[in-house]
Amino acid sequence: MTVIERFLKLVSFDTTSSEESGQHPSTPNQKVLGAELVRQMQELGIQDARMDAFGYVYGTIPANCEKSLPVYGLIAHMDTSPDAPGGPIHARITEVYEGGDIILNEEQGIVLSPREYESLLNHTGKRLIVTDGTTLLGADDKAGVAEILSAAELLLASNLPHGTVKIAFTPDEEIGEGADHFDVAGFGAEYAYTVDGGAIGELEYENFNAASALVEIAGLSIHPGSACGKMVNASLVAMEFASLLPALETPYFTDGYEGFFHLTDMEGSVEHAKLSYIIRDHDREKFEARKAVLEKAAKEMNRRYGSGTVKLTIRDSYYNMKEKIEPCMFLVDQAKSAMLELGIAPKVQPIRGGTDGARLSFEGLPCPNLCAGGENFHGRFEYVPVEDMEKITKLLATILWNIAK
């Protein structure tokens, strides 16, 4: 099975994760895919292929040389983002892309165009895997899953020496719970790479510090005809709270190392209102300062409208793995070296997001993040170039072969 055939099979499983579930994994189809991955791993000859009660899939490729080498891991996640419909996915491979628009769905008038998505022009001369524009594709991160399995196939079929390689596929990464039940000790790797990045060449060891914030507002409803000086409209208080945050520090206006406040959900009536935010910043001090901005806004609203009007709950999600990777920069260097060997231009850049590897790095398993090849993640215009998936598969194997040299 080629990496492309494997990928197209994997995306037929709808593994959308759910923040509301309260279960582990959050959706049952993740275990259905997990069982399929165990089956494929066993067919390839990967040893000890198994899925645990939480839906984590593990396996081992034994070393084929006597040289004493550290144990490395490769990790990707099985779930897809709840930000867009996750199925049924109707994937297809385009003809060689020569620029211009790609009609995804003629009936519904859905078009993938470089006018909106300039990255398309980086992939002229390649075949692209796209959807019909009604769902996401699932390259985040089933491209990574397919590439790891196909790299395992290369390792097992070759006589080139390599050390012991551990493989893991995680559920619920997209809702921030991918590392919650990861068995680091049982995994048994000293170092690992997550394969969860974007375009080919991306290599990342810095990510956002991340937190979520829930703002709950209690209003006071009185007949509007006699509400003068008495009514507290929770929805208006919510709008006022939002106005206290920096207007230009949202995802639309920020890039690179710049952090942001992102309002992800809001609901409200006169008596009750709720705002949900995520807070992101690469710099730890600035991250803490952002949380302080929210606390100051909540305090001000309670001063204006009375104690208890606004309740603020902030929960940290993960931290920038940079401090855990910098003592192990050989992990980044050996990935760069393998890229250059294969004619891939390394793009070392910060992640404007997070990965399972960020949390695992703080649990003693340093995990830089490698490209999986896809673009436009979490949306209906997601795509991945065929040729890039093939090259990334070889990249993973090359990194592991080079370690044994």
Indicate which residues carry an active-site annotation: 79, 173
Residue 323 CA to residue 336 CA, distance in Å, equals 19
Tokens 């991918």 belong to: 178
**Looking at residue 36, what DSSP letter applies?**
H
HSE-CB at 194 with a 13 A cutoff on CA atoms is 32
Q: Look at residues 405, 393, 391, 404 and name the one whose alpha carbon lies nearest to residue 74.
A: 393
How distant, in Å, are the alpha carbons of 81, 213, 276 from that of 279?
18, 7, 10
Helices marked H in 14-157 — which ranges? 29-44, 139-157
Tokens 């275990």 belong to: 31
Q: Are 392 and 147 in contact (CB under 8 A)?
A: yes
Identity of the residue numbered 36: E
Q: 27-31 — which CB contacts under 8 Å span 24+ positions?
A: 27/79, 30/55, 30/78, 30/79, 30/171, 30/172, 31/55, 31/171
Across-strand partners of 77?
170
DSSP string, 339-399: HHHTT---EE---SS--HHHHHHHTT----EEE---BSTTSTT-BEEHHHHHHHHHHHHHH
Residue 29 CA to residue 178 CA, distance in Å, equals 15
Q: Is the dihedral of CA 48, 3, 32, 187 positive or negative?
A: positive
Q: Look at residues 88, 91, 84 and name the one whose alpha carbon lies nearest to residue 7.
A: 91
CB atoms within 10 A of CB 399: 23
Residue 332 CA to residue 260 CA, distance in Å, equals 27
